[in-house]
Every structure is written in C-alpha cells, then in structure tokens.
C-alpha cells in the first residue's frame, strides 16, 4: 500500500477511536487534508488516496492547484485571507475557515453576489486571546453573527479556532470546549445566514482532543503529507 493511503487509514482509525471514547459517530467528523506544504503532484496523490476535502492557506499557491484539480474535490481556504485576495477565492473555494472581519465579509459579498456564488464560512475565534492570533474575540461573537444577516452570499456554517501552541493538553482541551459552548449558544439563536452546525478545530497535534470536544472538521497537514 502507498504511504499516503497508509497514513490516511491510520488517521481514520484514530478518528474512530476518539469518537468511540466519547460516544460520537465517526461519520460526523470530516477531514480537510491540508496541502499547503506540498506541490501539485503530491496534492493530486492526496486526492487519489481518497481525501476529497483539500485545505490551502496561501491564495497564490492554492489557485494554480485549484485550476488543475478543482473538479476532483472540495476546496477549503483555511488561512488568513486578505481582503484584496477575496476575489481569487470566491466562486472557486466552497469553504472559508477564517472569516474574521466585517470588511472581509463585505468583500466576499461584493464578489460573490454578481456571480451568484455562495461561500460557506466559519467564523474564526481567538479563544485564547493571544495577540498574535487572528480571529474575533468571544465577546464580539454574537454581534458579529447578527451582522451576517446583511450578507446573503455567506452562510456561516460554524466556528473555527486554532489551539495555543502549548504542551499542556488540558489548556488545549479547554479552548476547544469553549468553542463548542459558543457554537451551541449561537446555534440556539438561529440568526439569519448562521446555521452554526459545524466546528472546525484540531490539527495534527491535537485533533483527537478536538474530536472528543465536538469537532466536525479537523484540518490535518503534517500528519498526512509531512516528512
């Protein structure tokens, strides 16, 4: 068996085990294969191995790959998106995991509306309050979600966060647990364009914790395509 298929199978097993520990159905957990580290050839192999959700974080690297491979999978922009790059992503990528300003929402709406494109977005939340992190603060979350009523091209499917880069697993867990609470609260409110059914959290180092805390999308790069 090819190395990629082997890794993909191992990941599926670890997802199943994490789900069983907390009584979740593994079918609820989707994997975004993060291919930002690798070239077109390797990205094609990732698709061949059966990973059909592709995650990229740099527009200039992502678009040439998208042009070659877009009919093979579903494309996710997971990294910080500059406003002036939104036009490259709208109409091509199905998901944006890093919606974190009204200005960016406006730009997406402006580009999407004329071509009747829809963008499924996760609001990126800076749960831990680290200054170096993108994302809106938990305090601003509800007002932000209310504003989404003005953007008919955007569907806020859920929340996204990145755990702090720390050794302490409890600290990581508490960040994921908080995101789940924010999601639950917003889901109850049923704001227009904010179905809020999803949670994008967990990367190679912490995806099992994220699954135990309710992730429906994990974003896996190095564990799948790393050295």
Ligand X SMILES: *Cc1c(COP(=O)(O)O)cnc(C)c1O
By CB under 6 A, name the binding residues for ligand X. 34, 36, 57, 78-79, 162, 203-205, 219-223
Q: How far is CA 167 from the centre of its chain?
A: 23
Rank residues 74 and 146 by Cβ distance to ligand X and give the closer one: 74
Rank residues 108 and 215 by Cβ distance to ligand X and give the closer one: 215
The least CB distance from residue 167 to ligand X, in Å, is 15
What is the Cα–Cα distance from 169 to 207, expressed in whole angstroms?
Answer: 11
Cα–Cα distances in angstroms (integers) from residue 23 to residues 147, 158, 204, in the given order: 35, 22, 22
Rank residues 77 and 156 by Cβ distance to ligand X and give the closer one: 77
Rank residues 78 and 148 by Cβ distance to ligand X and give the closer one: 78
The least CB distance from residue 9 to ligand X, in Å, is 17
The least CB distance from residue 202 to ligand X, in Å, is 9
Which alpha helices (DSSP H) does the chain contain, by range? 3-22, 40-48, 59-69, 86-89, 102-112, 141-147, 169-189, 207-212, 222-225
The least CB distance from residue 116 to ligand X, in Å, is 28
Closest CA to 120 of 147, 148, 153: 153
């Amino acid at each position: 068996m090819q190395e990629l298929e082997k890794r993909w199978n191992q990941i599926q097993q670890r997802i199943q085990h994490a789900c069983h520990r907390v009584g979740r159905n593994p079918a609820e957990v989707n994997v975004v294969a993060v291919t930002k580290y690798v070239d077109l050839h390797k990205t094609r192999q990732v698709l061949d191995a059966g990973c059909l959700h592709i995650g990229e974080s740099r527009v200039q690297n992502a678009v040439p790959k998208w042009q070659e491979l877009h009919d093979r999978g579903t494309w996710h922009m997971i990294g910080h998106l500059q406003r002036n790059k939104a036009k490259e992503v709208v109409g091509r990528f199905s998901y944006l995991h890093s919606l974190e300003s009204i200005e960016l929402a406006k730009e997406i709406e402006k580009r999407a509306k004329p071509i009747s494109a829809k963008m499924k977005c996760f609001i990126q939340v800076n749960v831990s309050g680290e200054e170096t992190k993108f994302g809106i603060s938990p305090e601003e979350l509800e007002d932000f979600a209310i504003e989404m009523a003005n953007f008919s091209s955007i569907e806020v499917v859920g929340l996204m966060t990145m755990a702090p880069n720390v050794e302490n697993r409890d600290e990581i867990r508490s960040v994921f647990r908080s995101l789940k609470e924010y999601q639950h609260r917003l889901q109850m409110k049923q704001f227009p364009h904010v179905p809020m059914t999803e949670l994008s959290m967990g990367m190679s180092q912490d995806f099992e914790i994220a699954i135990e805390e309710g992730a429906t999308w994990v974003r896996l790069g190095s564990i799948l395509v790393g050295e």
